[in-house]
Amino acid sequence: MSLRERKKAKTRALIQKEALRLFRDQGYAATTVEQIAEAAEVAPSTVFRYFPTKEDLVLMDQFPPFMEALQAVPPDLNPVHAVRAAMLAVTAQQSAEELADSLEREKLMLTVPELWAAGLENVTGVVRTLQQHLAAREGRSPDDPEIRNVAGAIVGVIIALWFDWVRNPDMDGPAELDKALTHLDAGLPVRR
């Protein structure tokens, strides 16, 4: 990245970090964009340049790095195994602080009513994008029912894990995600 791009990424990360801190400390609804801007030492217009809505401070996630990691996975892996490998690659690069911030965003998305509708739209976009990437890997149409089913199953497993992680923040989310995707890859057997 150029110096300018690095500075922009640093500013964006600082704004989101301060927003998450304020949301945690005083609540989502009680926090204003002006307070976020002041905490990040930027103008409110700068906050809106990086995050067009207040919801985007929570919802804008790390999906692009995941998609880049998914594209780098060898093409001979089946879709679930490919997603698992990409998730492992992305989480391995995250610091403990980045993982904690991710958990904080998930808590907000699952507990703040104002974020539910926006979050659902975000998940819908994630499913659609995942379908497109998996279809391209498999040489199939994104509308193929099998691709739709696999993408839906993957996202369903991830969402179920998010709920558990939010209820139990001491859980090792990345390790549990790996186990969950391994279980999905094995066909979801229920052992007796």
Give the separation between CA 102 and CA 54, rounded to whole angstroms.
17
The pLDDT of residue 32: 96
The whole-number mean pLDDT for each consecutive block of 10 residues of the chain, a chain of 192 residues, reads 88 92 92 97 96 87 76 92 92 84 82 81 86 94 95 93 87 91 92 85
Note the pTM of the prediction, 2 decimals: 0.79
For residue 62, what pLDDT is reported?
55
State residue 60's pLDDT score: 65
Spell out the long-range contacts of 19-25 with Cβ–Cβ below 8 A and sequence spacing 24 or more.
Answer: 19/51, 19/57, 19/58, 20/57, 20/58, 20/101, 20/104, 20/105, 20/108, 23/57, 23/58, 23/104, 23/108, 24/104
Predicted pLDDT of residue 42: 97
Determine the pLDDT at residue 118: 77
Closest of 181, 180, 23, 176 to residue 99, by C-alpha:
176
pLDDT recorded at residue 61? 59
Q: Give the fold, CATH level 3, of 61-185.
A: Tetracycline Repressor; domain 2 (1.10.357)
The domain covering 1-52 belongs, at the CATH homologous superfamily level, to Homeodomain-like (1.10.10.60)
Domain with CATH 1.10.357.10 in the chain: 61-185
